[in-house]
Amino acid sequence: MNNKPFKCKVPALAPLFIMWGMLAALAAAGQWWLARLGLSLSEVATFNGVVGACSVSLFGLSFLVWYRLCQNRLKEMLMYWETDTRKVMEVTQTLQQSQVERHNLSEQLRKLTTEFEHKVQDRTKELNVACEKLRAELNERKQAEKALAQQAQELGRSKDVLELHVQARTQELQKLQKRNESILNSAGEGIYGLDLQGRTTFVNPAAAKMTGWRVEEMIGKPESEVFCKASGESPVQGQSSNPGEQVFFRKDGSTFPVEYVRSPIMERERLVGAVVMFKDITERKRTHDALARKAAELARSNAELEQFAYVASHDLQEPLRKIQAFGDRLKAKLDSLGIQEGREFLERMQSAAARMQRLINDLLTFSRVISKSQPLVPVDLNQVTKEVLSDLEVRIEQTKAHIDVSHLPTLQADPMQMRQLLQNLIGNALKFQAPNSKPQIQIQAQSVRKPFNGAAAGGSEQEVCELSIKDNGIGFDEKYSETAVARAQ
C-alpha cells in the first residue's frame, strides 16, 4: 500500500498570461507598423478586427485547453481521495483491534504487575535481611582488613627496620671482622688460637714469621709440635694466665725466649678454646743484660766521681780560706790606716770568695745527691737572682745589658739547683747576642694551675710557679728545641 500523500496540482495560468501579453504586444506592434506604412483608417480597422478575432480565438482555445487539464486533474484527485479513504478505514479497523488487544494486554500486565510487586516486596524483604547480614559481615571484614592492613604496615615497617638493623649490624660485623683480621695480621706480637684439644685454629703472620713456619702448615697441629714442648698443665683453661716467660721453638729447632699471655675463649658461658699472645724478648733480654752491665759501670763511675768531687771540694777550700784570711787582714790594715780607696774592690773580692765557698759546699752536696735525696726548703728567688746578677756583674757591665726583674716568689726547692738554673739561663742570654746589640733581659714569674702529675683534663690540678726569662738574643732553631730542653733537664 502506497502511503505517499496526494498533492493537488492546478494547471498554471502563467502560459495563458504570457500568450495574451504577446498578442497584445503583436497588436500594438501591428498598429505601429501600419501607422508607419501610412494605411487608411478603414484598412487599419480591418486589420485590428482581424487581429482581435484571432486574439479572441486564441484566448478561447487556450482557456479550453486549460479547462480540460483542470478536469483531468480533478478526476485524479477524486480517485486519490477514494483510495485514501479506504486506507483510513482499514487503518481505523486495525487501530480498534489494536486497542482491544492492548486493553487485554493491559489487564494481563496489571495482574502480572501485581503479582510481581508482591514477589518483589517479599524478595526485597529477604534481600534487605540478607543485605543487613552482608553489611554487617562487610563491616566486620573491613575492620578485619583494616586491622590486617595496619598489622601488615607495622610488619612491613618492622621488617624494613629489622632489615636496616640487620644490614647495619652485618656491615658492622664485617668491618669488625676485617678490622680484627687487620689487627691480627698487622700486630707485631704473635697471636694464635687453640681449641679444646690444644690444636691451633688460627695463626697471625707475626707468629708464623717468628717460628719460621707457614700459616697453613701450623693450622690443625698441636701447640706442643709448633710452639713449645708439652707441659703438665692443660693447654686450655677457664681462666686467664698471668704474663710469663717461656721458651719457644722454631721450625729449624732453634729456640728463643718469649713473654706470653694465655686467655680463654668463651661462647655463651662455655669454654670453646684459648688465645695466646706472645712476643720475642730476645732483644729485651740482651738489653737487660747490657743495662745491668752499664748500671754496674755507672755505679762504679758515680762512686769514683763522688770521691773525686769530695776530694776536689776539700782541696779547693784550702786556697779559698787563704784568700779570705788575707782579705780580712788587708781590710783590717786599711781600717787601721784609715785608707778608703780600694775598700769597695776588697769587699767585692770577699763577697766573691764567700760565694765561691758556697759553690764548693754546693758541689760537695751535689756529689751526694745520687746517694741521698735532699729535702726541699723555702728558696727566695729574689735573693737568688740578686746573687746571680752580682756574680755576672762584670759581664753585665761589658755588654751594657738591661735586666728587668719583676717580683719573684718564694718556692719549696733546692737552693743550689735554682741558683745554677738562673745563672745558666741569664749567662746564656748575655752570651748569645747579635754583634753590636745590647742585651734586654726580662725575668718574670706567675702562678698557674696544671694537671697533677700529667693527669688528663678534668682530673686533679695543682698550683705551680711558671718562671719566664725572655731576651733579645739570637735564639736557636725550633728543630733543636728538644735537644736544648733535654740538656737543661
| pLDDT tens profile 292-317 | 888 888 888 877 777 776 666 656 66
Q: What's the one-letter identity of residue 472?
A: N
* HSE-CB of 90 using CA atoms within 13 angstroms: 8
Distance, CA of 254 to CA of 87 (rounded, Å): 141
Query: Would you say 322 and 350 are in contact if contact means Cβ atoms under 8 Å apart?
Result: no
Among the ranges 37-41, 63-67, 394-398, 478-482, which has the highest mean pLDDT value? 394-398
Backbone CA torsion sign across 32, 34, 37, 40: negative
Q: Which residues of 269-290 are buried (b: 16+ CB within 10 A; e: fewer)?
A: eeeebbbbbbbbbeeeeeeeee
pLDDT score of 489 more than 50: no
Q: What was the pLDDT predicted at 229? A: 64
Cα-flanking dihedrals φ and ψ of residue 236, to 5°? -125, 120
Q: What was the pLDDT predicted at 407? A: 92
Cα-flanking dihedrals φ and ψ of residue 8, to 5°? -80, 120
Helix (H, G, I), strand (E, B) or coil at 350: helix
Q: What's the one-letter identity of residue 407?
A: H
Tell me which of 368 and 73 has the higher pLDDT: 73
Backbone CA torsion sign across 366, 369, 375, 381: positive
Q: What was the pLDDT predicted at 486? A: 43
Q: What was the pLDDT predicted at 383? A: 92
Helix (H) or strand (E) holding 169: helix 41-186
Query: What is the rounded average pLDDT of the residues 170-190?
Result: 80
pLDDT range class, residue 282, cuts 50, 70, 90: confident
Query: Would you say 374 and 414 are in contact if contact means Cβ atoms under 8 Å apart?
Result: yes
pLDDT range class, residue 10, cuts 50, 70, 90: very low
Tell me which of 142 and 240 has the higher pLDDT: 142
Q: What was the pLDDT predicted at 218? A: 86
Backbone CA torsion sign across 80, 82, 85, 90: negative
pLDDT range class, residue 159, cuts 50, 70, 90: confident
pLDDT score of 441 more than 90: yes
Q: What was the pLDDT predicted at 440? A: 92
Burial grade of 226 (CB within 10 A; 0-12, 13-18, 19 or more): buried
Q: What was the pLDDT predicted at 378? A: 92
Burial grade of 114 (CB within 10 A; 0-12, 13-18, 19 or more): exposed
CB neighbourhood size of 393 (10 A)? 12
pLDDT in tens, 336-387: 887 777 778 888 888 888 888 788 777 776 666 554 555 788 999 999 999 8
Q: What was the pLDDT predicted at 374? A: 59
Query: Would you say 449 and 466 are in contact if contact means Cβ atoms under 8 Å apart?
Result: no
Among the ranges 73-82, 109-118, 455-464, which has the highest mean pLDDT value? 109-118
Tell me which of 16 and 409 has the higher pLDDT: 409
pLDDT score of 443 more than 90: yes
Cα-flanking dihedrals φ and ψ of residue 234, to 5°? -70, 140
| Cell triple for 429 | 742570654
